Amino acid sequence: LRPAEYEYVQGVPFEKPGDAPDEEEEAAHFFARRLHPRAPLPAGIERVVLVRKLREVRAQIGFTRLAPAEANLDGDIMAGKVKTAMLGHLTDWLPAIEEHGEGLWIQLDTQALDAWEQRAEVQARAQVLRAGWNRELGDLPDQPFFGPRYYFLHALSHLLIQAISLECGYGASALRERIYCSAPGATTSMAAILLSTTTPGSEGTLGGLVAQGRNIGEHLARALELGRLCSNDPVCARHTPEQDPAEQHLEGAACHGCLYLAEVSCERMNRMLDRALVVPVIDQPSALAFFADQG
């Protein structure tokens, strides 16, 4: 679904006064317009899309014990060490919930990201993260390393949730993330974050999250400030995933003091995070960070 969703958003028109959803958008419960920024967007941000209306349907297909099932970049469950148990042997239906709300789409400059991924510092960091990945998931042949781009987008998403929640009227645990990231070496380059909040009510939410899209520069600056220093530094910044005695093999510089969110907000159970890829941190080269100049 994610590549199709990403492609659809590329064709969303710019907002204009008096905009209202057409019949197709009304039927789909999805109404989005690209932001006409009053000032240039921050360096590294390509576009912001205000999703004024969206519908989300979540269904429970099964359950696991002790550990979550692994999912690929598109969010599809992969066969692996953890198997999903069926809800019932004779059940021919699934429990589901339909929610309505709003979202904020933040799309990164893919050309800038491509150049950033070629830096020697980023490639060296990717090898460190890959070593931890192989320690945790190396026995899953169908689950290749996501690459530093995903770790970067995921960490940036968590920082933005923390920053935006201070102003939008929703707590951080009420905001959810959806990461759009292309695999290393993919022909199509994707890099975007969808932050959303929904409610079971048919009327949706109040628009507080969408309104913050017009202040994305302020929120990004606050997010980078939050990520620059952790209360557990320098231990957090120096974390080596492969050799971690606590077996946190899927995190770089990330912990409860800086990046972790409530489990309802994070799509990866607070794994695959590294704030050193976002903003300069203690004991790591500044060239490693995508937002080194802003940080």
Per-residue pLDDT, 213: 94
d(CA 119, CA 140): 28
Per-residue pLDDT, 140: 73
User: Strands 96-108, 31-34: parallel, antiparallel or unpaired by DSSP?
Assistant: unpaired
d(CA 127, CA 124): 5
* pLDDT tens profile 202-225: 667 878 999 999 999 999 999 999
* pLDDT tens profile 108-135: 999 999 999 999 999 999 999 999 999 9
Tokens at 32, concatenated: 């989005």
Per-residue pLDDT, 1: 87
50 forms beta bridges with: 33, 104
Query: Between the CA of residue 128 and those of 10, 79, 139, 183, 208, what are the distances in Å?
Result: 34, 25, 18, 18, 39
Note the pTM of the prediction, 2 decimals.
0.94
- Among 194, 155, 172, smallest CA distance to 262 is for 172
Pick out the chain residues at pLDDT < 70. Answer: 79-80, 139, 202-203, 295
